[in-house]
């Protein structure tokens, strides 16, 4: 049996990654894999409490980054690593690339500090594959405007999301073997065709 993999989904709010993630996990299950779907911030009881704070309470960018990584430490130790060890695949809606994109790009936090946190929290541990759902910000914003309630991040200006998008693309340049770009401006059916090819190849 092939080794269980850790796969993450990333992209700006409104890219549609959550819908595609559910479909992707189901497609893996149909191919006989045991799959755990999880998310960040969140994924553990403590992580979900921190998510509620992070999505609703105003705070300094550095506090935001520290809480994201604190939740992540718990997530890795309590959920991700134990699942992988028992042969369960893990598909997470966001992981550390989101901290580089949102706190680094969006909030302008020093990337070297984020790298220190990354090294502290998960040195030598990275997703096997990251799918980056990329699309123009105007399209993402139109999709988001259908939501009735918006959280603290979703209420940010277009310029914030432009910076988040660019930081994600930078991250991809830095990790081209791990991060795969998905054109999220296509119709959901087109995206599914791409995802299907990925499911077959992994
Ligand atoms: P998400 O689950 O994508 O939101 P939704 O439930 O509305 O689809 O993510 C929640 C927000 O958290 C998102 O706006 C991005 C932000 N975030 C960061 O800023 N840094 C991080 O490290 C992570 C994991 C998420």
Q: What is the pLDDT of residues 140-154, one digit of tens each?
A: 999 888 878 999 999
d(CA 159, CA 47): 28
Using the predicted structure, report yes or no on whether residue 200 has a pLDDT greater than 80: yes
For 2-12, what is the mean pLDDT?
A: 95
- For 189-194, the CB contacts below 8 A with 24+ separation are 191/16, 191/20, 191/133, 192/20, 192/23
- The mean pLDDT of 193-202, rounded to a whole number, is 95
Domain boundaries, the chain: 6-201
β-sheet with 89-93: strand ranges across: 35-39, 89-93, 6-11, 129-134, 179-183
Q: How far, in Å, from the CA of 1 to the mean position of ligand 1?
A: 33
Domain 6-201 fold: Rossmann fold (3.40.50)
Find out whether the beta carbon of 98 lies less than 6 Å from any atom of ligand 1.
Answer: yes
What is the model's pTM? 0.96
Mean pLDDT of the chain: 96
* pLDDT for the residue 1: 61
Rounded CA separation 37/68 (Å): 18
Per-residue pLDDT tens over the stretch 26-55: 999 999 999 999 999 999 999 999 999 999
- Quote the tokens at residue 48: 């979900």
Question: pLDDT band for position 120 (50/70/90)?
Answer: very high
At residue 10, what are phi and psi to the nearest 5 degrees?
-135, 165
pLDDT confidence of residue 144: 86
Compute, in angstroms, the gap from residue 153 CA to the centroid of ligand 1: 7
Pocket test of ligand 1: the residue of 75, 153, 168 to mutate, having most ligand atoms within 8 Å of its CB, is 153
- Ligand 1 mutation pick, 15, 80, 94, max ligand atoms within 8 A of CB: 94
CB of residue 68 inside a 6 A radius of ligand 1: yes
Q: Is the CB–ligand 1 distance for residue 167 below 6 Å?
A: no
pLDDT one-digit tens code per residue, 148-184: 899 999 999 999 999 999 999 999 999 999 999 999 9
């Amino acid at each position: 049996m092939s080794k269980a993999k850790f796969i993450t989904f990333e992209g700006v709010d409104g890219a549609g990654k959550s819908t595609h993630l559910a479909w992707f996990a189901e497609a893996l299950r149909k191919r006989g894999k045991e799959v755990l779907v999880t998310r960040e911030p969140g994924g553990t009881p403590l992580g979900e409490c921190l998510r509620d704070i992070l999505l609703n309470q105003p705070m300094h960018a550095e506090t935001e980054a520290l809480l994201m990584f604190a939740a992540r430490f718990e997530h890795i130790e309590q959920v991700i690593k134990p699942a992988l060890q028992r042969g369960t695949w893990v598909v997470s809606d966001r992981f550390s690339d989101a901290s580089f994109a949102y706190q680094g790009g969006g909030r302008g936090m020093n990337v070297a500090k984020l790298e220190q946190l990354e090294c502290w929290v998960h040195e030598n541990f990275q997703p096997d594959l990251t799918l980056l759902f990329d699309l123009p910000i105007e399209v993402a914003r139109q999709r988001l405007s259908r939501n009735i309630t918006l959280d603290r991040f979703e209420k940010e200006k277009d310029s914030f999301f432009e910076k988040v998008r660019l930081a994600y693309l930078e991250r991809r340049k830095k990790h081209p073997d791990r991060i795969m770009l998905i054109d999220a401006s296509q119709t959901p059916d087109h995206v599914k065709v791409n995802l299907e090819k990925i499911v077959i190849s992994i």
